[in-house]
Homo-oligomer: A and B are copies of this chain.
Amino acid sequence: MNAPTMNAQTTATSAVDAPAPYRRAAVIGAGVIGISWAGLFLAHGMDVVVSDPRPGVQEQVLAGLDEIAPALAELGLPAENLSARLRFEADPATAVADADVVQENGPERLPVKQQIWQVVEQAAPAHALLATSTSGIPATAIAEAMRQPERLVVGHPFNPPHLVPLVEIVPGERTSEQTLRRAHAFYTALGKKPQILRKEVPGFVANRLQSALFRECVHLVAEGVVTEAELDEIVTDSIGLRWAAAGPFRTFHLGGGPGGLPHFIQHLGRAMEASWPGLGAPSFDEPTVALLTEQAEQAFGDAPVHELAARRDRAQIALMRALDKTSGARARA
């Protein structure tokens, strides 16, 4: 594991230098994802300009930063006075004028993103790294109206960006190698675990896997095999634990005994392949949505979502500590 140089001498409480050469970030769009990115950038010592035309955005961002500060602190990052290096600028061209990196989190609509990037490209410095957080729109499409489409890359975080290590770096057809390398270095310096995808594919990787599994989850609950709460426990007590420690290929490599994955495929993989056509094909029709809604109330109705999320995040930070995946752990390394 390569500890980013910037963290090598820091402790959990000392200030962290900004990831050179990225000292100034512009965060375009300040919903949940944008606020989380802003918090992470600030905790890593960057100056941040937030640009979002919605009324009340300043209050929302400040409240959001207060909410994520404890998690940043638990990750071993300095999380006090985050807003000291934060400013707001409604006009995106002005916001990016001296940015080293632009992270865009606008609405998931192609025309909106195209328009944002036309403006940003022309207003940002020539050296700025240009990344979109889109979870599904290909960089190729967003960059169609750009003069230098080689500069745009998808930097898709797994929500929330300040907490989950993964960032999927997805090139568009014209994204340059240099842009990919710079994006990888930037997110790595922030303590993230970026992965560069080799091809642009709808939904990228993590969300496709999540979607494939959830489809079967919906099927099994709709069929009455288990309830939502029971299925969740089954996952956290088996495959969830497994996949936190080792991914699906490694898991089946180990399941193959001394012969590893090839042995697994020849013996158990064939049976698995034969079972694929029998997997469920549910839909969110009215009875299914009614059932899922009723069971969600039973399973999760005991506390407001933000409280359940805070509990989950604390559990996840404990797991990351156990796996040495926190920024603090890296700083100590």
Which positions in A face B, CB cutoff 8 Å? 32, 136, 158-159, 164-166, 168, 193, 195, 197-199, 201-203, 205-206, 208-217, 220-221, 223-262, 265, 269-273, 275-276, 278-279, 281, 283-284, 289, 292-293, 295-296, 299-300, 304-306, 308-309, 312, 315-316, 318-323, 325
B215 touches A300 (CB 8 A): no
B244 touches A241 (CB 8 A): yes
B residues less than 8 Å from A224 (CB atoms): 198-199
Closest to A216 in B: B212
A205 touches B220 (CB 8 A): yes
A201 touches B225 (CB 8 A): yes
In the bound complex, CA of A197 to CA of B231 (Å): 9
A269 touches B284 (CB 8 A): yes
A296 touches B235 (CB 8 A): no
A124 smallest CB distance to B (angstroms): 29
B residues less than 8 Å from A227 (CB atoms): 198
A260 touches B195 (CB 8 A): no
A310 smallest CB distance to B (angstroms): 10
Given the contacts A205-B220, A223-B199, A296-B261, A243 and B240 also touching, CB distance less than 8 Å: yes
A209 touches B213 (CB 8 A): yes
A202 smallest CB distance to B (angstroms): 6
A183 smallest CB distance to B (angstroms): 15
Given the contacts A245-B316, A252-B214, A281 and B276 also touching, CB distance less than 8 Å: yes
B199 touches A225 (CB 8 A): yes
Given the contacts A239-B243, A243-B240, A319-B241, A299 and B226 also touching, CB distance less than 8 Å: no
A232 touches B248 (CB 8 A): yes
A102 smallest CB distance to B (angstroms): 23
A246 touches B312 (CB 8 A): yes
A319 touches B159 (CB 8 A): no
B residues less than 8 Å from A281 (CB atoms): 276
B residues less than 8 Å from A213 (CB atoms): 209, 212-213, 239, 248
Given the contacts A253-B308, A256-B305, A238 and B293 also touching, CB distance less than 8 Å: no
A254 smallest CB distance to B (angstroms): 5
A233 touches B195 (CB 8 A): yes
In the bound complex, CA of A255 to CA of B214 (Å): 13
Task: Report 19 cross-chain contacts, Cβ distance below 8 Å, ordered by A residue.
Answer: A158-B238, A165-B241, A193-B233, A195-B230, A208-B275, A209-B216, A209-B217, A213-B213, A213-B239, A232-B250, A240-B242, A240-B245, A254-B308, A254-B309, A256-B305, A258-B305, A261-B300, A269-B284, A315-B322
